[in-house]
């Protein structure tokens, strides 16, 4: 009987032991509950970040578009400034002399005239072709500027590239006619076609080279000088220390002066000169 009780106690103790161990193991190995509120918060944060990133991307695209429009407007304005370059240069030139320039003195280029081209010895058919191409290019440039300012997509970039190409290859009477015939055209149409020495700065290379007031500038290094821009470009060519030949007309007589390259020290003013007087 005692053995049976001991056996029963042993079995009971073993059962209790396994029950205790099972309780401990359930505490360690029981799956942790999923915190749905954390997942929802994380999802909300991710959605917010995604929205912010999308907003920032759209904002950047908008800023880039606005910047491109400003660049386009600046390019158009720059083209307008280039077209009026002679006007600005001649106006500054006369302001230096203290006089008020007239529209003709400002050097503002007149619209190409078919009649004046023919008077200058240009074949009528050639004159018509030149004027047609100049007018077509001028209209296309205005049209492209308008399209760019409107911001019409998707061709805006294409319009800008075409406008830049047109500006690099502007059809001008001078490039079409050549310097000699263009010189004659300017004169017969009543426009300035030469630069005259208004004064010589004391102690300057121009004084040492023999320039005198009233000298008409004909050429610089064998290149015709028809306006102030030509003269400024000419003095920027070559190396300082080298010399060039300047052709002038003094009292109706063609002459040549040797000048050092660089700044001469002349004050110039625009004038009209009959090409036949020195050719």
Among positive and negative, which fits the CA dihedral 20, 26, 28, 29? positive
**Shared-domain flag, residues 119 and 183:** yes
Residue 3, in any domain of the structure: no
Q: Print the domain residue range for 168.
A: 110-188
Give the bridge partners for 217, in sequence order. Answer: 195, 248
> Residues of the chain whose pLDDT is less than 70?
1-56, 58, 61-62, 65-66, 68-110, 152-155
Residue 88, in any domain of the structure: no
Look at residues 118, 153, 188 and tell me which one is the last residue of a structural domain. Answer: 188
Q: What is the pLDDT of residue 177?
A: 93
DSSP 191-242: ---EEEEEEE-TTSHHHHHT--TTPEEEEETTEE--SHHHHHHHHTSS-BTB
Pair of tokens at residue 19? 């029950």
Contact 173, 130 (CB under 8 A): yes
Q: What is the pLDDT of residue 209?
A: 96
Residue 71, in any domain of the structure: no
Best CA proximity match to 77, nearest among 173, 175, 163, 156: 163
Residue ranges of alpha helices (H) inside 30-123 are 36-83, 85-96, 114-119
Look at residues 154, 188, 222 and tell me which one is the last residue of a structural domain. Answer: 188
Rg (CA), the chain: 43
Q: What is the pLDDT of residue 107?
A: 45
Q: What is the pLDDT of residue 77?
A: 59
186-237 pLDDT per residue, tens: 999 999 999 999 999 999 999 999 999 999 999 999 999 999 999 999 999 9
Q: Whole-prediction pTM value?
A: 0.58
Give helix 124-150 / helix 36-83 axis angle, nearest 10°. 150
Best CA proximity match to 228, nearest among 258, 270, 256, 191: 270
Residue 13, in any domain of the structure: no
Residue 28, in any domain of the structure: no
**Shared-domain flag, residues 176 and 225:** no
Residue 43, in any domain of the structure: no
CATH code, 236: 2.30.42.10
**Shared-domain flag, residues 207 and 257:** yes
Q: Number of folded domains in the chain?
A: 2
**Shared-domain flag, residues 118 and 133:** yes
Look at residues 188, 203, 222 and tell me which one is the last residue of a structural domain. Answer: 188
């Amino acid at each position: 009987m005692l053995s049976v009780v001991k056996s029963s106690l042993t079995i009971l103790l073993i059962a209790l032991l396994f029950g205790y161990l099972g309780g401990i193991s359930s505490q360690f190995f029981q799956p942790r509950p999923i915190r749905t509120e954390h997942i929802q918060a994380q999802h909300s944060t991710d959605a917010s970040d995604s929205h912010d990133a999308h907003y920032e991307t759209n904002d950047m695209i908008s800023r880039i578009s606005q910047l491109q429009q400003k660049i386009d407007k600046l390019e158009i304005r720059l083209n307008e400034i280039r077209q009026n370059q002679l006007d600005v240069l001649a106006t500054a030139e006369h302001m230096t002399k203290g006089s008020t320039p007239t529209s003709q003195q400002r050097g503002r280029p007149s619209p190409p005239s078919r009649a004046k081209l023919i008077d200058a010895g240009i074949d009528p058919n050639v004159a018509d072709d030149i004027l047609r191409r100049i007018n077509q290019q001028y209209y296309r440039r205005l049209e492209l500027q308008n399209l760019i300012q409107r911001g019409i997509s998707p061709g805006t970039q294409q319009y800008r590239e075409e406008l830049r190409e047109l500006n690099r290859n502007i059809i001008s009477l001078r490039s079409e006619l050549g310097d000699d015939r263009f010189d004659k055209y300017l004169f017969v149409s009543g426009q300035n076609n030469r630069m005259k020495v208004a004064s010589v700065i004391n102690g300057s290379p121009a004084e040492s080279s023999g320039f005198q007031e009233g000298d008409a500038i004909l050429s610089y290094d064998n290149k015709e000088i028809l306006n102030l821009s030509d003269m400024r470009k000419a003095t920027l060519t070559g190396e300082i220390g080298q010399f060039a030949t300047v052709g002038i007309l003094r009292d109706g007589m063609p002459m040549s002066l040797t000048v050092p390259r660089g700044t001469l020290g002349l004050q110039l003013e625009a004038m009209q000169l009959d090409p036949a007087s020195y050719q």
